[in-house]
Every structure is written in structure tokens, then in C-alpha cells.
Amino acid sequence: MNELILQIGLAGKLVLIVLLFFSVSTWAIIIQKLLYLRTSEAQTRRFMNIFSSSNNLTSIYAHSKSLDESHLARLYVVGYNALRGFQRESRDDNPTSGTARKSGVGITPKEVQVITRTIMVKANQEMITFEKYLIFLATAGSATPFIGLFGTVWGVMNAFRGLGMRTTASIGAVAPGISEALIATAAGLAVAIPAVISYNYYINKAKVVGSEMDNFNTEFVSIVERNFVKEY
């Protein structure tokens, strides 16, 4: 195999270098995303256990700040900070107000809508971060087979051109050149297959993460409405 690669022409070697770049980058993205998902899912499970078993929002907030790899914990931190911000404003504007609830100073329905939008903006940012570099996997999966095919076609052309210069034509004379050319196709497929599989896997994970964040946003806002909205 090494001898075949060394015998490949300049164009074929350039093709293999491009495919090597795609391969290294693809596997770097796959491993980075896999490690991130493993940590994020573990911390998200811990956060949800805390969130579902505690009624103390401040305690949940304290735990959330240590679970900074969990997308739901980060949403909670943003939502909690927005809630506390409105409560501080309400307390400062109405220091003697009788609308404070057991769980804190009340807020208005309009402020709940602002909290909802704040969490949604954060959720969109989380999705952008999660989907970062996935377009590279899609590009690698769709482009590398054609890059490899280009290398193969170029190599086959050179093989037949060399055959035409010989006085005698035989399969033995053209076979080495064709086998060298086919290396590019094999290399292109070796890059494309894991790229496509991992892209589909991570896109499916992104849909799951998006659904989790939507559901959490709804649940958090429901808690805020039940416990913090002012009664008139």
C-alpha cells in the first residue's frame, strides 16, 4: 500500500492530502462532540434530578452554576437571573408593597413574557453552539466521494495514456496504474462514511436537545406564573 501511494502522481497526491485534511478534521469534530455530549448528558441528568426534587429556586440555582456543561442548567441560570432582576426592580419601586409572595416579590405577566423570551434566546444560542461544525461534517460527507472520484479518474487517464505509449498492450501493464487510482476513491469513501453517519447522529441529538430546552422553558415559566405573578 505504501509503495502504491508513493507511486501516485502529483495530482493524486494532492487529492490524498485534501482527503487527509477532511479526515483529520472530521474525526476531531466527531470526538469533540462525543465528549461534549457525554459530559452534557450526565450533568443534565443531575440537574433534572435536583430540579424535580427541590422547591427552592435559590438552591437549584447554586447547584446549576456548578453544572456549566448542562444546557438545561444554563437555561435555568438565565431564567433565574431574569426573575430575580425583575423582583429587585419590583422591590425597589414598591418597598412597602403588599404583593410579595411567600416565594419572593411578585412580577407582572408582561415580565413573565420577557423571561420566556430571554430563555428562548439562550436556547437558540445553545443550539447554535451545539450545531457548530456540523455543516463541515455534511460537507465532508457529500464532497469527499467526488474528490476521491476525481483522483481516480485522473489516475485512470494517466494509466491509459501510459498504456498508449507502449508498443504492447496488456492488462498487466495497465493494472498497477488503475489500482493506484482507485486508492483515491477508497480514501474518499473512508472519509465520507463516518462523516455522514456522525452528521445524522448529531443532527438527531440536536433535535432532542431542542425539544428538551422547549419543554424546560415551558416548565420553568409555569413555575414562575404559579408562584411569582402578582395577583390583582
pLDDT tens per residue across span 53-109: 988 999 999 999 899 899 999 999 999 999 999 888 766 555 444 333 444 567 888
Q: Map residue 109 onto helix, strand or coil.
A: helix
Task: Judge whether 70 and 44 are in contact, CB under 8 Å.
Answer: yes
Q: Is the dihedral of CA 180, 185, 189, 191 positive or negative?
A: positive
If pLDDT is split at 50, 70 and 90, which confidence band does 23 have? very high
Beta strands in the chain (DSSP E): none
- How many distinct structural domains can be found in the chain? 1
Task: Judge whether 109 and 86 are in contact, CB under 8 Å.
Answer: no
In the block, residue with C-alpha cell 405577566: 109
pLDDT tens per residue across span 178-204: 767 788 889 999 999 999 999 999 999
Q: Map residue 68 onto helix, strand or coil.
A: coil
Residue 48's domain comprises 2-228
Of the candidates 187, 213, 226, 210, the residue with the CA atom closest to the CA atom of residue 74? 213
More confident residue, 162 or 151: 151
Share of the chain above pLDDT 70, in %: 78
Neighbours of 165 (CB within 10 A): 6
